């Protein structure tokens, strides 16, 4: 079995396993106690803090350990907003932040705060100018991930941090996806991370709050971790997290070279092997191990099951999943194809033979799914020189498949009107038009769902 979902959770690093087992024997006591066992536990905790702080590039007394990366995000955002509530209640986030950031923004907005969601380009990247335009006198906090978790695009954190600093606004950086590859550059104010993203154990996050940043921890007071992370520290996991972060950093340069070559191979070969594929994300400014592509006329969940049966564990941000039936917020914000989406994120030890076998298996898996989904015949009628495709009640990618089948039946310049009540069609039909060089005219109201109008260009 080839595990290609390291962006969700990286395999436990051997150093993490060794540190975890050792600290189970040495670090079980309460580090807040003054007796011998407690002092030993405290030494282990502070040594882990020093190691993590060195890797992050901050002072040890600026870093606390939390129960998860999500908890670090929620604690950091809530504390920074509360600490600057006299300045204002305006929060800035990018449209493709991790869901933990967006959920925190939704909570803030529901409580009466203001939120600006900065848009991204088709490569999934914000511009510093867009953050500068969003800043205003009442801005309490800005958030920007260091790199995207779905498509791997790196963000201009250094430039945005400088703009925020000039305006006196702290910038919180969610570095969960990138921290294992290197420190986050720039004059940021707060930073979060998650150990299971770099090969540490799950259940450990970190939160850094720079000295001088106004911060007011929310919730009941607790004496642990400077009052910023309540509860008894999971010391063995913390020690393993810090040890693995140091270990992966030592290996990062060599691992990055290998993984960039492998992901570049996937980026180049997939469009050659599979028709109607869009590789998404920035081709240059991206994390080493992530490559994401979307396949027209493919149900993402079905494709993932096919690849799983073939021995490959990959993930998807596809709109077509039985659990949500809604497009990935990242792909939606980028304006790229959401159907048949596959994210390949390679662990550091991935071999070239694993990638080659994946490239051998993928075309057949896609072809099989397309064959299964291609059976429904389009229900097409002509209304006032417009070909109408009734795809009501059909989930993606069926509306797009039916559009593709009939576009050649209208003359150049003619229109096709696709009726659909699937929310994903709002993203996927315009994306299909861009891929196939047809003109997307726009969306019109309909008795049920919506009508998406496409003009044949070629």
298 vs 374: CA distance, rounded Å: 9
CA distances to 280, 303, 307 from 360, rounded to whole Å, are 21, 15, 11
Q: Would you tell me the crossing angle of helices 14-26 and 235-273 to the nearest 10 degrees? A: 170
Active site residue 320: yes
Please check whether residue 90 is in contact with residue 244, taking contact to mean a CB–CB distance below 8 angstroms. Answer: no
Q: Would you tell me the crossing angle of helices 14-26 and 36-56 to the nearest 10 degrees? A: 160
Q: Would you tell me the crossing angle of helices 352-373 and 235-273 to the nearest 10 degrees? A: 60
Task: Give the helix/strand (H/E) hosting 380.
Answer: strand 380-383
Write out the E strands in 50-120: 63-66, 90-94, 114-118
Please check whether residue 69 is in contact with residue 176, taking contact to mean a CB–CB distance below 8 angstroms. Answer: yes
458 vs 456: CA distance, rounded Å: 6
Q: What are phi and psi of 438, to 5 degrees?
A: -110, 165
User: Which residues on adjacent β-strands are paired with residue 193?
Assistant: 206
**Token pair in block for residue 430:** 């315009």
Quick one: which of 141, 316, 133 has its CA closest to 216? 141
Polymer length in residues for the chain:
458
Please check whether residue 204 is in contact with residue 235, taking contact to mean a CB–CB distance below 8 angstroms. Answer: no
Q: For residue 210, how many other CB atoms are within 10 A of its CB?
A: 15
Number of H helices, E strands in the chain: 12, 17
The residue from 58, 164, 320, 396 that is catalytic is 320
What is the full DSSP assignment across 333-361?
A: HHT---TTEEEEE--TT--HHHHHHHHHH
Which residues form the catalytic set? 320
């Amino acid at each position: 079995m080839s595990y290609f979902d390291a962006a969700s959770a990286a395999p436990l690093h051997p150093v993490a396993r060794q540190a975890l087992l050792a600290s189970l024997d040495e670090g079980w006591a309460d580090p807040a106690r003054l007796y011998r066992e407690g002092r030993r536990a405290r030494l282990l905790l502070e040594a882990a803090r020093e190691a993590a702080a060195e890797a992050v590039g901050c002072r040890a007394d600026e870093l606390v350990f939390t129960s998860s990366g999500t908890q670090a995000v929620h604690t950091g955002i809530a504390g920074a907003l509360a600490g600057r509530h006299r300045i204002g209640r305006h929060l800035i986030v990018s449209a493709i932040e991790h869901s933990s950031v967006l959920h925190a923004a939704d909570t803030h907005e529901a409580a009466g705060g203001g939120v600006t969601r900065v848009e991204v380009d088709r490569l999934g990247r914000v511009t510093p100018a867009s953050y500068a335009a969003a800043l205003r006198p009442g801005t309490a906090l800005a958030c920007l991930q260091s790199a995207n978790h779905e498509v791997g695009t790196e963000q201009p954190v250094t430039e945005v941090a400088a703009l925020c600093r000039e305006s006196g606004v702290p910038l919180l950086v969610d570095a969960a996806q990138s921290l294992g590859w290197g420190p986050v550059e720039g004059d940021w104010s707060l930073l979060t991370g998650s150990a299971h993203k770099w090969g540490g154990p799950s259940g450990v996050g970190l939160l850094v709050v720079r000295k001088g940043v106004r911060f007011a921890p929310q919730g009941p007071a607790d004496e642990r971790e400077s009052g910023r992370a309540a509860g008894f520290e999971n010391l063995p996991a913390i020690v393993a997290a810090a040890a693995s972060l140091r270990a992966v950093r030592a290996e990062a340069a060599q691992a990055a070279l290998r993984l960039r070559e492998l992901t570049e191979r996937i980026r180049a070969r997939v469009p050659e092997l599979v028709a109607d594929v869009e590789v998404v994300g920035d081709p240059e400014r991206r994390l080493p191990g992530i490559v994401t592509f979307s396949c027209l006329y493919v149900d993402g969940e079905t494709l993932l099951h096919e690849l799983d049966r073939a021995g490959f564990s990959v993930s998807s941000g596809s709109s077509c999943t039985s659990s949500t039936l809604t497009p990935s917020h990242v792909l939606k914000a980028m304006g790229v194809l959401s159907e048949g989406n596959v994210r390949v994120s390679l662990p550091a030890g991935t071999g070239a033979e694993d990638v080659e076998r994946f490239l051998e298996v993928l075309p057949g898996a896609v072809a099989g799914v397309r064959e299964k989904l291609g059976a429904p015949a389009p229900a097409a009628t002509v209304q006032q020189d417009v070909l109408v495709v009734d795809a009501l009640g059909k989930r993606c990618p069926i509306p797009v498949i039916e559009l593709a089948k009939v576009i050649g039946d209208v003359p150049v310049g003619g229109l096709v009107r696709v009726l659909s009540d699937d929310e994903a069609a709002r993203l996927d039909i315009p994306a299909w038009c861009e891929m196939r060089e047809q003109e997307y005219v726009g969306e019109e109201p309909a008795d049920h769902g919506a009508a998406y109008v496409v003009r044949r260009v070629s």
